[in-house]
Amino acid sequence: MVVLNILMLILLAISPIAAVMIVPGSAAAASPPVTRAASYEVKAAFIYNFTKFVTWPSTSFVNAADPIKVCIMDNSALSEALEALAGKTSKGRHIKTLSYQNITEGDRCHLIFFGESVDTPLTKKILLAVGKSPVLTVGDSAAFVQQGGIIRFITSGNKLAFEINPATARRSGLEISSKMLSLAKIVGELP
């Protein structure tokens, strides 16, 4: 709990800087808008599917009505696609999306998506803050899994795929369905 609170504080502390840093980058990267938008939507769908194949420990929810909180550490167009997830349900829980701008102190994220705009040091910091908490971390950056992230998007041929570090997930107290694992590229030490 303390760790999470610290993380939140960190997040709040860095957010204006991050916003300043990320926004121009994202704007510059939006050269092929249609393809990107399509790829964002696919990623959003993937993230939604992840919530279905991953089981969080019951202690990570306050009660049965507690939503799955998806925190988006990005300001790109993907965040908009992810916003569309809000209102959907997964495993009987609503999905609540929180963008980095409006994460408050009391919020505890179940899934944190690290967008391209989040740089490596920040990622490292947050991942450290998350530590062994049951938070599904999903990222885009090449060294994301090596830094302690659980799922990373990759491209296989021209298709979107993902790689998983099951060991990290297990340490965080998360159960990832074997069905999903069978689709993933497994990285890190084998369980």
Smallest distance from other proteins to CB 161, Å: 8
Q: Which of 148, 129, 128, 89 is nearest to 1 (CA)?
A: 129
Q: Which of 118, 80, 116 is nearest to 99 (CA)?
A: 80
Question: Do residues 176 and 166 touch, judged by C-beta distance below 8 A?
Answer: yes
Check binding of 61 to other proteins (CB under 8 A): no
Check binding of 180 to other proteins (CB under 8 A): yes
Check binding of 177 to other proteins (CB under 8 A): yes
Of 2 and 179, the one with the shorter C-beta distance to other proteins is: 179
**Residue from 53, 124, 125, 128 in contact with other proteins (CB under 8 A):** 53
Q: What is the enclosing helix (H) or strand (E) of 176?
A: strand 175-176
Question: Do residues 120 and 146 touch, judged by C-beta distance below 8 A?
Answer: no
Distance of alpha carbon 69 from its chain centroid, rounded? 10
Smallest distance from other proteins to CB 52, Å: 5
Check binding of 179 to other proteins (CB under 8 A): yes
Smallest distance from other proteins to CB 183, Å: 5
Strand pairing report for 136-139 and 151-156: parallel
Site string for other proteins, 65-104 (x = CB under 8 A): ------------------------xxx-------------
Residues in contact with other proteins, total (CB under 8 A)?
13
